[in-house]
A and B are shown apart, each in its own frame.
Chain A
Amino acid sequence: MIRLEKRPQPSKMWIYMTPVLAVLLTMLFGGIMFMVIGTSPIEAIRTIFWDPLFHPQFAAFSRPQLLVKAGPLILIAIGLSIGFRAGIWNIGAEGQYIIGAICGAGVGLALYPMESALILPLMIIAGALGGWAWAMIPAILKVKFGTNEILVSLMLVYVAENILASVSSGVLRNPEGMGFPGSRNLAQWSSSQNLELFAGSGMHLGVLTAFIAVILAYVLLTRHIQGYNIRLTGEAPRAARFAGVSPARTVLFCLGLAGVLAGMAGLFEVTGPAGQITIDFGSGYGFTAIIVAFLGRLHPVGILLAGLLMALTYIGGELAQLMLGVPGASIQLFQGMLLFFLLGVDVLTNFRIRVGKAEVAA
């Protein structure tokens, strides 16, 4: 008989071991899946995890992509994780990301074709404010009327996507774009371009901001009373109120912070890798970041690693579709397995598995 036995305290070792175990289980069961659909499991897993970084031919292209993809994931996930720590479930980072990009791009395009070193900083601020404002909608509705932030923030993603469709063929459309939807290319305008800081690294301002966010979030959560209050709110809401933490202020802070970071991520994306506001600008980073946040155990350093791992599976997944011809759905399934196993094996942190009958402790 297999039983679960509650640990008196969460196991320190398993906090670190569960993500590793989850990745190994994903490789095992993902490998079985690839075998079933007729692909060599070893080759598939090598293509997903190894080739993007070390393939002699593709690595030069795909290696920088790692940071390009991981940057926004980490930046958004850091913001989300702070809220998740407090039990505030912002599912709408994708919308905040889109609105941040639109606001930042809008401010930049309004100044086009002026040349100034101040334009990009101004756009970053506008992007952050755009994401913040979009996140304030569920925050204020929750504080004032007790609405559920999960539903409101999620629904606002679809609103944001419609606004995106509207502006990319409306007010933000490139007047010189020969009628095609989509804005001017911001990556090609020297005042707004968010270039790689080191050639061939994929490291742009957004990635740098993500790394800084990791450090600041770590300091916030471990050293600052605001971070303590957030953790306390998530652990024991009544104790938090007893400690004097205002639930309303926590909601506003957490959703606002997530909005700011998601909005900035959107702005860095539209001025760099994406280049322009188009109908399909929303790439799902805001949703994937939720997975990244949990994959990283809502811990800043964990999120850093999880973001890199997630980016790797994306790039590797694309590579596998390209080189091995596996269907895109199998890659999504593979990523889904990763989250599934992560949540599943998390039980080991708080419980231990006992096999056999109950034994007498010494």
Chain B
Amino acid sequence: MADTLLSLSGLTKAYPGVVANDDVSFDIREGEIHALLGENGAGKSTLVKMIYGLVKPDKGAMVFRGAPYAPAEPRAARASGVAMVFQHFSLFDALDVAENVALGMENPPPARDLAQQIREVSETYGLPLDPSRTVGTLSAGERQRVEIIRCLLQDPKLLIMDEPTSVLTPQEVEILFETLRKLKSEGTAILYISHKLEEIRSLCDHATVLRLGKNVGTCTPSETTARAMAEMMIGSTFATPAAKATTPGDVLLRVDNLTMPAPGSFGTPLRSISFELRAGEVLGFGGVAGNGQDELLLALSGERLAEKGTIWVKGADVSRDGPTARRAAGCLTAPEERLGHAAAPNMSLTENVILTAGRRENLVNNGFINWGRADQFAADVIKRFDVRTPGTHVAARALSGGNLQKFVIGREVAQNPDVLVVNQPTWGVDAAAAAAIRQALLDLAEKGAAILVVSQDLDELMEIADRFGALNEGRLSALKPVKDLDLEEIGLMMGGAHDMEVAHVAE
């Protein structure tokens, strides 16, 4: 089983102004789980896109099982036995599982045979899934299973997985890992892309680390510390956020029995959510995506108005106030989606600070915008939060994900809010930038702000939060101090088994 499955040699791909991959060479062996590590913008996506036939390399060659391999398109890659599960699912909510699987196949068998095949594969690999369910009703973990099964039906030799665990509960991660190990034992190689170093350590046989498009080394993850791998990725050492030691002060944000209908046909209603958030405290809300996180953010930001008497900032009822009045009251928010929600893609960074800071930073007087001050404020945010950009005139869409995230969070932190609510503050952000963002949040809490972090990254919540709660189908679990929790308990909270009752699992 030690034969080379896919050998990459000297792969180079350049885009205008940036070399995404520079002379990258490494081998993936038959039946191994090979990790691909790297910061955002290190060239991981470009590399796997070349393997999957989405992008053509400028230079270099690939050899698949001894034969030259140069897929012109994904179809050719799939025909050779390469399959890929993307980070963002390409599924149709309104269709059922079998229909979605059929859409991704070249020659789908008749519906009944396909449903049977889906059942067989799902049983063989321990991925419970009912072919007749509508995808819109599935959880993120189940949706991922649809994607995986779609790949497995093609009997791949190499399965590429792009950040597969970012949307899963710890229990779902375990199920996924069991599946991957089973696949490996049957001889399927897996190229596994992730930021989560502990996962890679427990799962992967080898790891290749990319930095700025170059292969900077390989390691055996089980024998390397997470910190050492992280430092390989960023090429220097970085500071872990220092835990703070402040005692909670007054209640700054109080949510009292907040109930809201779902915003759309696939949204989640909020069901009697109540909590208090004190000055100096960091509260962490975990939960699998789609369990009310976005809806809670919309309710707290004022984009959707709640019922009277449900949301209180510093003792004042702001439930019926819109975003501008909430900001004036000291409650700032940073939504998950950076482009299009937290920032306008085609507008410059200077224009983008006016989006939320216009009033608090006196960037607007009598309705007229003070562009000088706005530009100055944008420059301050860029400097203070180390946003890598040529200047404030650059359009938001030109920034990399991590840099834009630093800008978006920095824009709110720099306004010295009393209450800051952030959703997925480090989603898709590299380790160094994530550490910087977390540190900024902790510093803000130390100065007496109350902070609510909604995140699917449990490690992040464990690292910075004082108390933890989980959102499940729009309900909030009981809040528990983080230091008293272990991963299993968290997993059960996320699954909806509040107060440690035994989970009732359907089917």
Residues of A at under 8 Å CB distance from B? 5, 8-10, 223-226, 228, 231-232, 235-236, 238-244, 246, 358-361
* A-contacting residues, B352-394, CB 8 Å: 354-356, 358, 364, 367-369, 371, 394
Query: What is the chain B residue whose CB lies nearest that of A354?
Result: B16
Residues on B with C-beta less than 8 A from A232 are 344, 347, 355
Q: With A242-B301, A361-B19 as given contacts, are A236 and B345 in contact (CB-CB < 8 Å)?
A: yes
Chain A nearest CB from B19 CB (Å) reads 7
Query: What is the chain B residue whose CB lies nearest that of A232?
Result: B344
Chain B nearest CB from A244 CB (Å) reads 4
Q: What separation, in Å, do the CA atoms of A149 and B335 have in the docked complex? A: 30
Q: Which of A236, A244, A360 contacts B58 (CB 8 A)?
A: A360
A241 touches B303 (CB 8 A): yes
Q: Which of B14, B322, B344, B367 contacts A235 (CB 8 A)?
A: B344
B14 touches A242 (CB 8 A): no
Q: With A8-B398, A244-B324 as given contacts, are A228 and B14 in contact (CB-CB < 8 Å)?
A: no
Q: What separation, in Å, do the CA atoms of A243 and B327 have in the docked complex? A: 10
Residues on A with C-beta less than 8 A from B59 are 360
Chain A nearest CB from B314 CB (Å) reads 19
B355 touches A361 (CB 8 A): no
A238 touches B341 (CB 8 A): yes
Q: What separation, in Å, do the CA atoms of A226 and B395 have in the docked complex? A: 21
**Top 5 A-B pairs, shortest CB-CB distance:** A244-B324, A244-B323, A236-B344, A235-B344, A360-B14
Q: What separation, in Å, do the CA atoms of A161 and B192 have in the docked complex? A: 66
Q: What separation, in Å, do the CA atoms of A240 and B301 have in the docked complex? A: 12
Q: What separation, in Å, do the CA atoms of A63 and B188 have in the docked complex? A: 79
Chain A nearest CB from B454 CB (Å) reads 15
Chain B nearest CB from A296 CB (Å) reads 19
A243 touches B356 (CB 8 A): yes
A239 touches B344 (CB 8 A): yes
Q: What separation, in Å, do the CA atoms of A232 and B353 have in the docked complex? A: 12
Chain A nearest CB from B125 CB (Å) reads 38
Residues on A with C-beta less than 8 A from B358 are 225, 243
B355 touches A243 (CB 8 A): yes
Q: What separation, in Å, do the CA atoms of A242 and B336 have in the docked complex? A: 12
Binary CB contact string for chain B from 36 to 70 against chain A (1 if under 8 A, 0 otherwise): 00000000000000000000101100000000000
Residues on B with C-beta less than 8 A from A8 are 16-17, 395, 398
B264 at the interface (CB under 8 A from A): no
B346 touches A235 (CB 8 A): yes
B340 at the interface (CB under 8 A from A): yes
Residues on A with C-beta less than 8 A from B12 are 360
**Can you name 15 extra interface pairs (CB under 8 A) apart from A239-B344, A244-B302?**
A8-B17, A10-B395, A223-B369, A225-B358, A228-B351, A228-B354, A235-B347, A236-B344, A239-B342, A242-B301, A242-B303, A242-B333, A242-B342, A244-B327, A360-B14
Residues on B with C-beta less than 8 A from A239 are 340-344, 355
Q: With A8-B17, A236-B340 as given contacts, are A242 and B323 in contact (CB-CB < 8 Å)?
A: yes
Residues on B with C-beta less than 8 A from A240 are 344
Chain A nearest CB from B386 CB (Å) reads 21
A224 touches B369 (CB 8 A): yes
B18 at the interface (CB under 8 A from A): yes
Residues on B with C-beta less than 8 A from A235 are 344-347
Q: What separation, in Å, do the CA atoms of A225 and B351 have in the docked complex? A: 11
Q: Which of B14, B325, B367 contacts A225 (CB 8 A)?
A: B367
Chain B nearest CB from A255 CB (Å) reads 20
Residues on A with C-beta less than 8 A from B303 are 241-242
Most A C-beta atoms less than 10 A away, residue of B18, B327, B367: B367
Chain B nearest CB from A31 CB (Å) reads 36
A358 touches B58 (CB 8 A): yes
Residues on B with C-beta less than 8 A from A9 are 394-395, 398
Q: Which of B322, B323, B341, B371 contacts A236 (CB 8 A)?
A: B341
Residues on A with C-beta less than 8 A from B15 are 361
